[in-house]
Amino acid sequence: MMIMKNYSIWEDLNNNLTCKSISQDMDVDVLIVGGGITGISVLINLMNSKLKTILIEKNKCGLATTSKSTAKITYLQEKIYMNIRNLINEDTASFYLDSQRYATNLLKNLIEKNEIDCDLKKVDSYLFTDLDSNKEKLEEEYKFLKNNKVNVEKVTSVSFDKNCKLALKVSDTYVFHPLKYINYWKNKYKDLIYENSKLTKINKVKDYYECLVNGRIIKTKYVVIASHYPYFLLPFLLPIKSHIETSYIGAKKEDKTQNISAINIDKPTKSLRYHHNYLIYLYNSFKSANIKSVKDNFEELNKIDKFQYMWSNNDIITNDYLPFIGRIKDNLFIATGYNTWGMTNGTLAGEIIKDLILEKENKYIKLFDPNREINLSKIIRFPSDLYSNIKAICKSTKNNVNNNLVINKIIKGQKVLVYKDSKGIEHIVLNKCPHMKCGIVFNEKELIWECLCHGSRFDIDGKCINGPSNLDITFK
Ligand SMILES: Cc1cc2nc3c(=O)[nH]c(=O)nc-3n(C[C@H](O)[C@H](O)[C@H](O)COP(=O)(O)OP(=O)(O)OC[C@H]3O[C@@H](n4cnc5c(N)ncnc54)[C@H](O)[C@@H]3O)c2cc1C
């Protein structure tokens, strides 16, 4: 019988190296918080400076959002250019395209120059539709790309989707293995990386920061928050400027591989690529606050095919479709909100933040400024984001037991949820997300607890895997 693995295809990779943890007070110039593609990219970029830099990671590097992505390196990003053009203007859309083409090459060159063994492959990228009604939108995207001197082709038949009505194709894009990439850098800079080291507090003192990590104080001039969800610092980023989106992914072995990467512009979202002869297939993306049943969403994926791996992933979608990369205030920086395009944007963030710290020019600083004004009146989805958030909070506090594997209990006066695993071991967690006190649901496929209001995820015993929560729901 085929055994389904409930984690991403990248996470099958073994990396026995665990870096040391923070166990004493330290004095550095730059503290980077988070060991995904963003934090690692900032670290790489600062290696040629004289600044004493360290990176802390609360778990193991790469194992959060980065290792659950489909890891395409591409600038064909759904309808993003038309979205930016319609919301802001044509020049901003062109500038974002320029940044993504630049970042695609930046990452590819970094891999080639350092001869990183991470399965980098040049592929044709497709943007496609199965609907006659969406052909016009693709035509618009085509015109925009042509006007911006992209070598793009229109095709009406593709090898990966027999219902395709129209597709755009470009050839200067890539795919890779994100965890092999992260592990290369982790091994190279292991002396500067601290794992199992969690930031819990930042205090500004005169012209430096005191950061509390594992109960120790790291004194630093610059802090870079590359933790994906910087909400414990900026609670109003969500829902005012962004929302969380969850997607469901499967991987299955096929007879042969194809040199392609593709994404549609229809609903439900379909996105695919190959890794050797495994097809990686993303089906359906939802605003997390609108998810009715995690189990049903995996069932939908199951109906498409029998996958050997199945997993889900969250990313932050910004209301103006542009990432937040740069200075928040003083010497505090963030990089997040990649709208599911973090391989390019996370890599670019490394360069932008390095230039900000070293006071060098970088043409993308203004475009991604996290303090930029967002014209909320133009954002149609803003009221609907707010509504679904409030609805999700109310729903989660009323009915938080989502399946019969979990029971609701009160132990020592505290509301808890109890899941008994196949060995009869009870896993007990607090039934409240520390972020905004929403109820928790159980994701029986991946054996994790989730807050569907805002996307926080916790392991089976309540340790926080993904924010916005920065706290655990462990019951002691
Ligand atoms: C379904 C899906 C598919 C995707 N596919 C693609 C794709 O094909 N191409 C593409 O370009 N992008 C893709 N993305 C987007 C991409 O995966 C993300 O944008 C990117 O991985 C974010 O990287 P990050 O380093 O910012 O965050 P993460 O990888 O989440 O890293 C943040 C790290 O910070 C750590 N951390 C958090 N809090 C603390 C703390 N308090 N102290 C210390 N450490 C902390 C976490 O443990 C984590 O390791 C996809 C996203 C989704 C949801």
The CB of 186 under 6 Å from ligand 1? The reply is: no
- CA–CA separation, 409 and 424 (whole Å): 17
Model pLDDT for residues 65-119, shown as the tens digit of each residue? 999 999 999 999 999 999 999 999 999 999 999 999 999 999 999 999 999 999 9
**Any residues with CB less than 8 A from the CB of 9 and at least 6 apart, and which?**
251, 275, 278, 280, 309
Sorting pLDDT into bands at 50, 70 and 90, what band is 379?
low
Which residue ranges form the domains of the chain, and what is each CATH number?
Answer: 18-68+180-236+322-378 (3.50.50.60), 72-177+238-318 (3.30.9.10), 386-466 (2.102.10.10)
Q: 340 in the Ramachandran plot: left (φ > 0), alpha (ψ -120 to 50) or beta?
A: left
Closest Cα to atom 2, ligand 1: which residue?
Answer: 69
pLDDT of residue 238: 57
For the record, the structure tokens of 119 come out as: 């399965």
For the record, the structure tokens of 237 come out as: 């980023």
- CA–CA separation, 311 and 308 (whole Å): 10
Instruction: For residue 450, count other CB atoms closer than 10 A to its CB.
Output: 26
- pTM confidence score: 0.94
pLDDT of residue 232: 64
Q: Which of 31, 58, 39, 55 is nearest to 193 (CA)?
A: 55
Model pLDDT for residues 276-316, shown as the tens digit of each residue? 999 999 998 877 767 677 778 888 888 888 999 999 999 99
The CB of 320 under 6 Å from ligand 1? The reply is: no
pLDDT of residue 397: 59
How many angstroms is it from 424 CA to the middle of ligand 1?
33
**Any residues with CB less than 8 A from the CB of 167 and at least 6 apart, and which?**
126, 127, 128, 129, 138, 154, 155, 156, 158, 262
Q: Which of 248, 272, 277 is nearest to 260 (CA)?
A: 272
The CB of 37 under 6 Å from ligand 1? The reply is: yes
Q: What share of the chain is helix, strand, coil (3-state, %, to 5)?
A: 30, 30, 40
Model pLDDT for residues 9-56, shown as the tens digit of each residue? 999 987 788 999 999 999 999 999 999 999 999 999 999 999 999 999
**Long-range contacts of range 402-408, CB-CB < 8 Å, 24 or more positions apart?**
402/293, 402/294, 402/295, 402/441, 402/442, 403/295, 403/442, 403/444, 405/442, 405/444, 406/442
For 125, the enclosing helix (H) or strand (E) is strand 121-129
Closest Cα to atom 14, ligand 1: which residue?
Answer: 340
- CA–CA separation, 262 and 76 (whole Å): 9
Instruction: For residue 379, count other CB atoms closer than 10 A to its CB.
Output: 16
- CA–CA separation, 459 and 311 (whole Å): 14
For β-strands 309-318 and 426-430, DSSP reports them as unpaired
- CA–CA separation, 42 and 30 (whole Å): 10
315 within 8 A of 229, measured Cβ to Cβ:
no
Give whichever of 259-273, 278-292, 442-456 has the largest mean pLDDT: 259-273
pLDDT of residue 80: 97
- CA–CA separation, 421 and 110 (whole Å): 44
**Could you identify the residue written with the tokens 């004095």?**
27
Model pLDDT for residues 325-367, shown as the tens digit of each residue? 999 999 999 999 999 999 999 999 999 999 999 999 999 999 9
The CB of 357 under 6 Å from ligand 1? The reply is: no
The dihedrals phi and psi of 336, each to the nearest 5 degrees, come to -165, -175
Crossing angle of helices 342-357 and 90-113, in 10° steps, is 90
Nearest atom, ligand 1, residue 345 CA: 11
Mutation to probe ligand 1, out of 237, 338, 472 (largest number of atoms < 8 A from CB) = 338
Closest Cα to atom 10, ligand 1: which residue?
Answer: 341
The length of the chain in residues reads 476
Closest Cα to atom 18, ligand 1: which residue?
Answer: 342
Burial of 162 (0-12, 13-18, 19+ CB in 10 A): exposed
Nearest atom, ligand 1, residue 72 CA: 8
pLDDT at residue 394 tops 70: no
Model pLDDT for residues 241-265, shown as the tens digit of each residue? 888 889 999 999 999 999 999 999 9
DSSP 3-state assignment of 76?
coil
